[in-house]
Amino acid sequence: MQAQTKPETDRRNEPPEQSVWWSKLSLAQKFSASSLGKFGYELAFVRNENGQSLAVLICNGGISVISEDGDINTSPDLHLRD
């Protein structure tokens, strides 16, 4: 009898609506994140600072952030840990 292996799941192909982080975004952030997604950006995480959420997206080593109001900043002063 052969052991059954689980197929690997590539989360990059998972629709953003099913992402844990996606549910934490405001409606404006979802629209902006969808727009950036067309350029290859992926939602990495959502940071909460002083009661405001900040969505952090990554693409080819580049970082963009989206404010709670949906404003996109493609050159934020943000450094990620390795």
Is the pTM here over 0.85, yes or no? no
pLDDT of residue 17: 52
Is 43 within a domain?
A: yes
pLDDT of residue 80: 75
Q: What range does the domain containing 41 cover?
A: 18-73
Is 79 within a domain?
A: no
Is 1 within a domain?
A: no
Mean pLDDT, each 10-residue run in order, the chain (82 residues):
59 59 92 95 89 92 94 89 72
CA distance 73 to 82: 21
Number of domains within the chain: 1
Q: Tokens 């192909």 appear where?
A: 13
Is 81 within a domain?
A: no
pLDDT of residue 25: 93
pLDDT of residue 6: 58
Sheet order of strands, 42-49 included: 42-49, 52-59, 62-66, 72-73
pLDDT of residue 50: 84
